[in-house]
Each structure stands twice: as C-alpha cells, then as structure tokens.
C-alpha cells in the first residue's frame, strides 16, 4: 500500500477521488461543518462512508436552511434517530437552530440539550426561536430549570432564550470559559455565577424592571454589556478584568423620568423609586469595573452613536486618587455639547485628580 502522500499525488494525477485519500479523523471533522441531514446523506457515497457520520466531531441541527428557520416538528423524528444511532459518541461542537411553534415540543428540545451535555460537548450554541407563530414578538424558548453539569463544556451561546437562576448557576461547569447571551430574557434571573468564566457578553437582552440581577464572575477578563433593557445588573468584584465595554440605551429604566438631575422626589418615578432589594448607596457597575485596564462606557439615553465634542483627560501620576484603579491611564468623554451634566462629570473627575489634556 503506498504512503498517504503518494496516494494523494496519484489521485490528483489521475483525476480520482482526492477526498477519499483523507484520513477518517479529518473526514469526521469536515462532516461536522455540514448540517446534520447532509452529513448523514454521505453514508451512500461508498462503503467507507457508511458510518463516518455517526462519529463526526460536531452536530449542526439546523434544518439545512441558512436564511430560514425550520420548524422543529419537521426535525423531530430525524433528531431522535440521529442521537440514538450516535450512541453517546463524544461531541466537540453542537448547534441547535430551528423554530419551536408548539409548547408540546419544548420538553423534547430540552431533552436533546441534556443529551448532548452527556456527550461531553465543549461548545454548545442554542438558537431556538419561538416567534414564527402569528409573528408574535417576545415569545422565548424557555430552558428548563435544572442546572447544567458538565466537566467538558467550555463555551455556551444562548440566543433568543428565556433564562432562569438554576440554568445560569455554573457551579457544575468548572471548565466553562465563555458565555454569550444575545436577545436573552433574563427577567427571572436574580444571579449569574461562575468561578471559571473568562469572557462574558450580554447583548440586547431584557432584565427585570424592579430588581437587579447580580453577576458574580471573579475570574472574568473580558466583559461586554451592550444595548440591554430595563435594570442594569450589579457587577460584583472582578479583580482580573482587563477589557470592558458597557453601553446603555434609552430602553434602560436606570434614569429619572421627571428630572435630568435625579431629584424628582416623585414616588411614581420608575427610575428613582421602583427598585427592590438594592440599597440606594450600593455601587452598581463601577465597583466591578474598577480593575479594568481598557474600559469603554457609553450612555445613549439622549443621543445616538455620533458625537460632536471629545474631551480627553489623564490621571495625575503624583496625586492619583485611591478611589480609582491604578490601571487607569486615560479618560475620554464624548458628547454632543458640554452641558450642565457633562460639567458635573468633569468636576467629579477633577476630584479624582483626572485633568483635561485635550478638547
């Protein structure tokens, strides 16, 4: 039998089956990039391909349509047989991407998720929609209320998911390093916790209007909170944090609805008074962000992404305040105009020995 390299050269020269010269492990890896239906269909190519799909390193249960979500009832029997015939073979990556129309299918999908967790999946992406039926907005796929437990899971992506405390308690996932939540429904989440998490991104997600979710991730090095709704979560200590990006939008209720100076004294003001379980003097985000080496804070309550004025300041190295991080080197304030609110910010920065160097 000729060496593999010679076999490949001979196949190229003769115009033969080049893919057929590849090792099985490489073919299994290639199959992991295909939607599961297409991967299974390769079993008819040749005798050698008959069972390769059963041990592919990844599963993409997506229905095969990139631009259109497939209803889960069209995939139900296929996925049941797929997982059964794989017989628990370990999975490196798994993506669920389809539409759940009927409530009857929710427990079945939850069972599929638990099955791939038992198959030692390392990267799990859940992109399960519930919005196709009558175009109803705000209808989420709610994950079950059991905590995840996996020594192998390193990255978790949750898209359009309704979440709860148990599911986001990652004490049973000691290897988890990355968590991404996009358009998540976190109204019923009081705490997100993980001692191993290194990177966290929560984007365009809804929190509770009356209580603050607490985020406890002491090993975090990268944080992104972007365009989230309702109450901003409380960030607990993150001593290893290096990069942080936080952007507030007008849909946040962390603002006074009757005054620009937060002194409306109106008990009906949702921003000032309608908050439970948090003391008025508790630091919400700055305590957790205080160790960041690169920090971006953007408030778009009353402005868009464009700005007309840019002010830069730097710390006085001799008289640096103990109230700010020793890593902070430069502060940038970007705004449409230097109004009373901006002057308050500049005055506050001055109390921390941060002085304007460029305007």
Q: What is the pLDDT of residue 284?
A: 79
The helix or strand, by DSSP H or E, that contains position 95, with its residue range, turns out to be strand 93-99
Work out the burial of residue 178: count CB atoms within 10 Å of its CB; fewer than 13 is exposed, 13-18 middle, 19 or more buried.
middle
The average confidence (pLDDT) of the chain is 81
Local confidence band at 249 (pLDDT 50, 70, 90 cut-offs): confident
Average pLDDT on 255-262 reads 64
DSSP state, 324? S
Q: What is the pLDDT of residue 352?
A: 64
Q: At what angle do helices 106-118 and 76-86 cross, to 10 degrees?
A: 20
| pLDDT tens figures, 213-242 | 999 999 999 999 999 998 889 999 999 999
Q: What does the angle CA 77 – CA 79 – CA 83 come to, to the nearest 5 degrees?
A: 125
Q: Is the pLDDT of residue 61 over 60?
A: yes
Average pLDDT on 27-45 reads 91
Residue 270: strand, helix, or coil: coil
Average pLDDT on 37-44 reads 91
How far is residue 237 from each of residues 234, 279, 283, 295, 304, measured CA to CA in Å? 10, 17, 11, 15, 30
The residues facing 94 across adjacent strands are: 59, 124
Q: Is the pLDDT of residue 326 over 70?
A: no
| Residue 136: CA count within 13 A, CB half-sphere | 12
Residue 119: strand, helix, or coil: coil
Q: Is the pLDDT of residue 270 over 60?
A: yes
Per the CB < 8 A criterion, the answer to whether 239 and 288 are in contact is no
CA dist., res. 246 & res. 225, Å (int):
5
Q: What is the pLDDT of residue 134?
A: 45
Q: Which long-range contacts (CB under 8 A, 24 or more apart) does 16-20 make?
A: 20/46, 20/48
CA dist., res. 240 & res. 244, Å (int):
11
CA dist., res. 45 & res. 49, Å (int):
6
CA dist., res. 35 & res. 62, Å (int):
6
More confident residue, 32 or 335: 32
Q: What is the pLDDT of residue 202?
A: 97
Average pLDDT on 45-49 reads 88
Q: What is the pLDDT of residue 343?
A: 75
Mean pLDDT: which of 48-52, 279-283, 285-289 is highest? 48-52
The residues, ordered by sequence, that sit 6+ positions from 183 with a Cβ below 8 Å of its Cβ are: 159, 160, 203, 204, 205
Q: Are β-strands 222-230 and 199-203 bridged in parallel, bridged antiparallel, or unpaired? A: parallel
Q: Is the pLDDT of residue 14 over 60?
A: no
The residues, ordered by sequence, that sit 6+ positions from 123 with a Cβ below 8 Å of its Cβ are: 92, 93, 94, 154, 155, 157
Q: Is the pLDDT of residue 304 over 50?
A: no
pTM, two decimal places = 0.81
CA dist., res. 258 & res. 255, Å (int):
9
Task: Say how many C-beta atoms besides its own lie within 10 A of residue 132's C-beta.
Answer: 14
Q: Is the pLDDT of residue 354 over 80?
A: no
What are the DSSP E strand ranges found in 163-281?
178-182, 191-193, 199-203, 214-216, 222-230, 234-235, 243-252
- In the chain, the percentage of residues whose pLDDT exceeds 70 is 70
Helices (H), the chain: 4-14, 24-31, 36-41, 76-86, 106-118, 286-289, 340-351
| pLDDT tens figures, 85-135 | 999 999 999 999 998 888 888 999 999 999 999 999 999 999 998 765 544
Measured over the CA atoms of residue 348, residue 351, residue 352 and residue 356, the dihedral's sign is: positive
Measured over the CA atoms of residue 199, residue 163, residue 248 and residue 125, the dihedral's sign is: positive
| pLDDT tens figures, 129-179 | 876 554 444 578 899 999 999 999 999 999 999 999 999 999 999 999 999
Q: What is the pLDDT of residue 11?
A: 47
């Amino acid at each position: 039998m000729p060496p593999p390299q010679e076999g490949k050269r001979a196949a190229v020269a003769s115009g033969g089956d080049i893919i057929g010269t590849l090792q099985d492990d490489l073919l299994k890896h290639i199959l992991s990039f295909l939607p599961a239906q297409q991967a299974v269909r390769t079993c008819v190519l040749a005798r050698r391909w008959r069972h390769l799909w059963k041990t592919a390193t990844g599963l993409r249960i997506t229905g095969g349509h990139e631009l259109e979500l497939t209803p889960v009832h069209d995939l139900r029997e296929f996925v049941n047989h797929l997982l059964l015939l794989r017989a628990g073979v370990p999975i490196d990556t798994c993506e669920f991407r389809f539409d759940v129309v009927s409530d009857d299918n929710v427990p079945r999908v939850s069972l599929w998720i638990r099955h791939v967790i038992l198959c030692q999946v390392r990267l799990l992406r859940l992109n399960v929609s519930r919005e196709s039926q009558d175009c109803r907005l705000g209808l989420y796929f709610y994950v079950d209320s059991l905590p995840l437990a996996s020594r192998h899971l390193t990255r978790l992506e949750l898209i359009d998911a309704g979440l709860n405390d148990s599911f986001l308690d990652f004490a049973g996932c000691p290897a988890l390093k990355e968590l991404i939540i996009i358009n998540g429904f976190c109204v019923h989440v009081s705490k997100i916790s993980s001692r191993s998490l290194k990177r966290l991104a929560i984007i365009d997600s809804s929190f509770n209007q009356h209580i603050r979710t607490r985020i406890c991730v002491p090993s975090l090095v990268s944080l992104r909170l972007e365009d989230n709704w309702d109450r901003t979560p409380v960030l607990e200590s993150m001593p290893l944090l290096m990069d942080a990006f936080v952007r507030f939008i007008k849909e946040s209720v962390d603002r006074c609805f009757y005054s620009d100076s937060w002194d409306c004294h109106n008990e009906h003001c949702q921003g000032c008074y309608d908050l439970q379980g948090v003391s008025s003097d508790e630091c919400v985000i700055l305590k957790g962000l205080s160790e960041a080496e690169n920090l971006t804070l953007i408030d778009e309550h009353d402005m868009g992404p464009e700005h007309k004025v840019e002010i830069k300041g730097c710390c006085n190295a001799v008289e640096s305040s103990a109230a700010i991080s020793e890593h902070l080197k430069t502060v940038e304030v970007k705004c449409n105009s230097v109004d009373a609110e901006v002057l308050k910010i500049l005055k506050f920065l001055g109390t921390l020995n941060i002085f304007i160097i460029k305007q």
